[in-house]
Amino acid sequence: MNDSIRTFIAITINGQLRQELHRIQTLYKKNLSGKISWVAQENIHLTLKFLDNISQSQATKIKTILTQISQKNKSFIIRPDTLGAFPNLKNPRVLWVGIKSGQKQLQSLNIQIENQLEQIGFPKNEKSFHPHFTLARIKTIESQENNRPSFAQAEVNTTITSPANKITLFQSKLTPQGAIYTKLFESEFSA
């Protein structure tokens, strides 16, 4: 019997910032159609590392590592930045909002997580870490040749902040209606 679970490590955000990111989503939902998977408002988070399928024994080790990392780090503030896309706004596959404040701390957390998880057999991510909030995953955009939707920089309210005060291990179950995230474990930062 396969007991593996699909997981990722993330920072959760408060309702006010989540509402602002949902407002940006709503602006683009009105102007975009195609095969687009919008992240549900309650699921918006900042991924530190995607783990894919892990066993229960790996989950136990990961929880220990996250506790150790959280005890070495302090709470900080996250402030959103402007809209962006991977690979770019002309050919978007992932629509996201970047981070204005908290970049340094998020980069440090990612390095700590990558280094610690490598010691228990998880390969380091070869792509450079770019902290962001995913708004949508885009397979195709339906548009006329001369009527391609504009991804002009949305006015993100960069005065809204969220405390980053814990690391969370989530399970991600994929369903036809979208991903369902379940908190498996969270560990608060030391202060």
Report CA 58 to chain centroid distance, whole Å. 21
Q: Distance (Å, rounded) from C-alpha 32 to C-alpha 51?
A: 31
Mutual angle of helices 56-71 and 103-118, in 10-degree steps: 140
> What are φ and ψ of residue 53, in 5° steps?
-85, 130
Q: Is 134 helix (H, G, I), strand (E, B) or coil?
A: strand
Q: Report yes or no: 131 and 4 within 8 Å, Cβ to Cβ.
A: no
Catalytic choice (132, 138, 167, 169): 132
Nearest to 166 by CA among 38, 35, 14: 14
Q: What is the CA radius of gyration of the chain?
A: 17
**Order of strands, sheet of 178-188, starting from the edge strand that comes earlier in the sequence:** 46-54, 5-11, 166-175, 178-188
| Pairing mode, strands 132-141 and 94-101 | antiparallel
Catalytic choice (9, 21, 25, 45): 45
To the query of whether residue 22 is one of the catalytic residues in this protein, the response is no
* Catalytic residue annotation: 45, 132
